[in-house]
Amino acid sequence: MHCTRNIQDDLVYIGGSDRRLSRFENLFPIPRGVSYNSYVLLDDKTVLFDTADEAVGRLFFENLEYALGGRSLDYLVVHHMEPDHCVLLGEVLHRWPELKLVCSAKALSMIGQFFPLDVADRTLVVGEGDKLSTGRHMLHFFMAPMVHWPEVMVTYDEMSKTLFTADAFGVFGALAGNIFDDEIDFDSAWLADARRYYANICGKYGAQVQAVLKKAAALDIAAICPLHGPVWRTNPGLLIEKYEKWSTYEPEEPAVVILYATMYGNTENAASVLASRLADRGVRNLAMYDVSDVDVSYLVAEVFRCSHLVLAAPTYNGGLHPRMETLLADMKALSVQNRTVALIENGTWAPVSGRHMAARLAEMKNMTLLDGTVTLKSSGGGLQLEGLTALAETIAAQLQQ
């Protein structure tokens, strides 16, 4: 059995998808699963670009053997040493003892940390701008440190104008036969997972992503082959444009997301009142999430999307609600910046959550805090309702500008 697809006449997709895994890196929910992409180039010399996770190991080797069609394997290019892409490396080396590894110097040092192997004498260590001819194809190697590990590199195939990008341009979600961007509805079915993947996996490393994008801008790119998600052969510029936006921490859309924590429903009710007031003033496509109910990876993705954030939380143990604390900690860790934020606090006798949220936001760059934190005492009403209405007017006016 095998399950392969040709990307070009001599470039074959041999990856597989895992629909049983519930959390990527045992952290991020992936209800649609995830793909592990590998590729084989069939030139005068044969080249395998990365291995895969052991969850798809059987399919990977069946696909690899079929793609090679009885030929030997000459090179294995290791773009990234994270286990979901390198765990099968030892078995590949065992099956093809004449194989030569191609990787960065940092990746070579990591191989010894994952495998009890001495591969120095069968490794071609490459650096920035180095090239490798495989016959008709010329491979160019570029270093991409901290996108999102320090050993990462990317490969550009000069002949086919294909860029192999490691984890960059990856997307959560299993593939179902349609592996190309022109075979899927990206905006409706994949964009949210592309954003969530970027925000949580690469979000912290905007400067490093920008460095790679500058290198990519000097290349004529016809296709992008990432290690997760669809292969971009028709419109790679679309995803590059998104990465330009996300990696500079500019809001993807002029939009509002209301992120609230609530204990007995009173803070949630205030958030709902604000949403209604915003809608009355023409604000469309509002998003609203209970931070206790929605995984923080989804919340962070929405923060990357929206220009305006509303954070609403009750006081808890004289401080901040723990789930809101988690969200703000993740925002700081992922270098969120350049957002406009409004605060709603609640507390029956000593509402101080607004002060704590403001302190966390002050630790982030270029966060504009709107004047007039709305303070609720228990269920709200009266002046508190006026405060929500005034806040809605302020946000709506900014969005209309």
Per DSSP, the three-state class of 248 is coil
**Is the confidence at residue 153, as pLDDT, over 80?**
yes
> pLDDT by residue (tens digit) across 6-53?
999 999 999 999 999 999 999 999 999 999 999 999 999 999 999 999
pLDDT of residue 380: 65
CA distance 348 to 267: 11
Domain range annotation of the chain: 5-247, 256-400
pLDDT at 381 over 70: no
The CATH topology of domain 256-400 is Rossmann fold (3.40.50)
Determine contact, residues 153/146, Cβ cutoff 8 Å. no
Q: Which two tokens stand for residue 1?
A: 């059995």
Across the strands, what pairs with 11? 8, 41
Q: With a cut of 70, say whether residue 397 has pLDDT above it.
A: yes
Q: Could you tell me the two tokens for 36?
A: 């592990």
Listed in sequence order, the residues at least 6 apart from 214 whose beta carbon sits closer than 8 Å to its beta carbon are none
Q: How many CB atoms lie within 10 A of CB 207?
A: 11
Query: What is the chain's mean pLDDT, rounded?
Result: 95
Place of tokens 């002050």: 362
What pLDDT, in 10s, does the model give residues 55-85? Answer: 999 999 999 999 999 999 999 999 999 999 9
The predicted-structure confidence for 116-128, as pLDDT tens digits, reads as follows 888 999 999 999 9
Q: Is the pLDDT of residue 2 over 90?
A: no
- Among 194, 333, 298, smallest CA distance to 288 is for 298
H-type alpha helices, 264-321: 266-280, 296-305
Percent of the chain with pLDDT over 90: 92
pTM of the model: 0.95
pLDDT at res. 388: 94
Predicted confidence (pLDDT) at residue 384 exceeds the cutoff of 90: no
Distance of CA 74 to the CA centre of its chain: 32
Please report the pLDDT score of residue 231 as a whole number.
Answer: 98
Kindly report, residue by residue over 16-29, the tens digit of the pLDDT: 999 999 999 999 99
pLDDT tens-place string over residues 242-284: 999 999 999 999 999 999 999 999 999 999 999 999 999 999 9
Domains 5-247 and 256-400 alike in fold: no
The per-residue pLDDT for range 180-210, each reduced to its tens digit, is 999 999 999 899 999 999 999 999 999 999 9
**Is 90 exceeded by the pLDDT of residue 166?**
yes
Q: Specify the pLDDT at position 117.
A: 86
Helix 236-247 vs helix 206-217: crossing angle, to nearest 10: 140
Which class for 390: exposed (0-12), middle (13-18), buried (19 or more C-beta within 10 A)? middle
Level-2 CATH architecture, domain 5-247:
4-Layer Sandwich (3.60)
pLDDT value, residue 165: 98
What is the mean predicted confidence (pLDDT) over 307-324?
95
DSSP 89-146: HHHHHHH-TT-EEEE-HHHHHHHHHHSS---GGGEEE--TT-EEE-SS-EEEEEE-TT
